[in-house]
Amino acid sequence: MAFLDSDSTTTRIACAQLTLRIGEPEANRAAARDAIERAAAAGAEVVVLPELTNSGCIFHDAAEAAAAAEPLDGPTVADWTAAARRHRLVIVGGLCERDGDGLIRNSAVLVDQTGLRAVHRKAHFFGGEQEFFVAGDELPPVVETSVGRIGVMVCYDQEFPEYVRTVVLRGAELLCVPVNWPLFPRPAGERPSEVVRVQANAAVNRMFVAACDRAGTERGVPWTGGSVIVDLDGFPVAGPATEKSADLLLADCALATARDKRLGEHNDVLGDRRPDLYRSVTTPLEEAR
């Protein structure tokens, strides 16, 4: 693989921030197809789409979520796989999924030119999601792709730094995170708190992170629209976008540089960990679970 020859080989990453329409799956698929085509035309090699791209998010009830769900061999993944094959892309997108057991999941898939490579079921639910979905019970996938090792999680998952560590410890160079960030008030001049979390996750792990959000408003819930691509030092290299509109973020990232966890002459952000200390924590809260 060419990228092994040099740390300076870059990969063009895209976040396709979209406005989606709940109850209009074909329009959503068309919006995603169009964004993927624009990203490919702009030279992207990895395209990240929002959480629940096929369905939207603010369901009235479980029946509506179930009606919007589709299997992994359904039309959305077929669209993405076809586009990945056509343009030699890696695509990570959020899917309202009906799994093989008929359970409804808030999932993200990674597809490439060879087809479906991995699916992640969101393990940490935000808001009332447990009414609509069954949570995943697995570690997030880390997939060896033609451009490097990519980890996948969904939205609130990345607000648990322990969970993020699990992808870094398994070699992820880039973490792709489809998100739907509801817009919360924040002080003037401040970035969304979710963006700050992305920045810190990137920095403490020396891993690239691409989070793709939605724009616009759905059933009265405005989205943050804070899509962002962050480098190993925790600084944005594209975005954060704004909440107002669809947007296509692009950044060229030397993914292989994320294999080097050194920080100056003496430090290594993974090697410096003291898991002997963290493992010893047994708290009343953890015991109670």
Binding site for its own copies (CB under 8 A): 123-130, 137-139, 156, 159-163, 165-166, 169-170, 184, 186-187, 190, 193, 196-197, 199-201, 203-204, 233-235, 264-267, 269-270, 272-278, 280-281, 283, 285-286, 289
Q: Which is nearer to its own copies, 3 or 160 (CB)?
A: 160
Q: Which residue has the tokens 């008030």?
A: 185
CA distance 89 to 111: 8
Two tokens, residue 141 = 């996938």
Supply the minimum distance, in Å, between the C-beta of residue 233 and its own copies.
6
> In angstroms, rounded to a whole number, what is the distance separating the alpha carbons of residues 216 and 21?
10
Smaller CB separation from its own copies, 5 or 274: 274
* Between 42 and 278, CB nearer to its own copies: 278
- 49 vs 251, beta carbon nearer its own copies: 251
Residue of 271, 197, 262, 183 lying closest to 230 (CA atoms)? 197
User: CB 274 → its own copies: shortest distance, Å?
Assistant: 6
Q: Which is nearer to its own copies, 101 or 265 (CB)?
A: 265
H/E segment holding residue 110? strand 104-112
**254: amino acid identity, one letter:** A
CB of 192 to its own copies, least distance (A): 10
In angstroms, give the least distance from the CB of 287 to its own copies.
10
Closer by beta carbon to its own copies, 52 or else 90: 52
Q: How far is the CB of 254 from its own copies (least distance, A)?
A: 17
Please enumerate in sequence order all residues whose Cβ is within 8 A of that of 9, keeping only pairs 6 or more positions apart, or say none. 2, 3, 254, 256
Half-sphere exposure of 74 (CA within 13 A, CB side): 18
- Taking the complex as a whole, how short is the minimal distance between the CB of residue 267 and its own copies, in angstroms? 6
Between 83 and 153, CB nearer to its own copies: 153
25 vs 236, which CB is nearer to its own copies? 236
The candidate with the shortest Cα–Cα distance to 169, out of 155, 154, 149, is 149
* Rounded alpha-carbon distances, angstroms, from residue 136 to 66, 120, 122, 243, 268: 16, 7, 5, 29, 31
Shortest Å distance, C-beta 123 to its own copies: 6
Provide, rounded to whole angstroms, the least separation between the CB of residue 142 and its own copies.
Answer: 11
Helix runs in the chain, H state only:
25-41, 62-68, 75-87, 161-168, 193-205, 275-279, 284-288
Which DSSP helix (H) or strand (E) runs through 96? strand 90-98
Distance, CA of 207 to CA of 190 (rounded, Å): 23
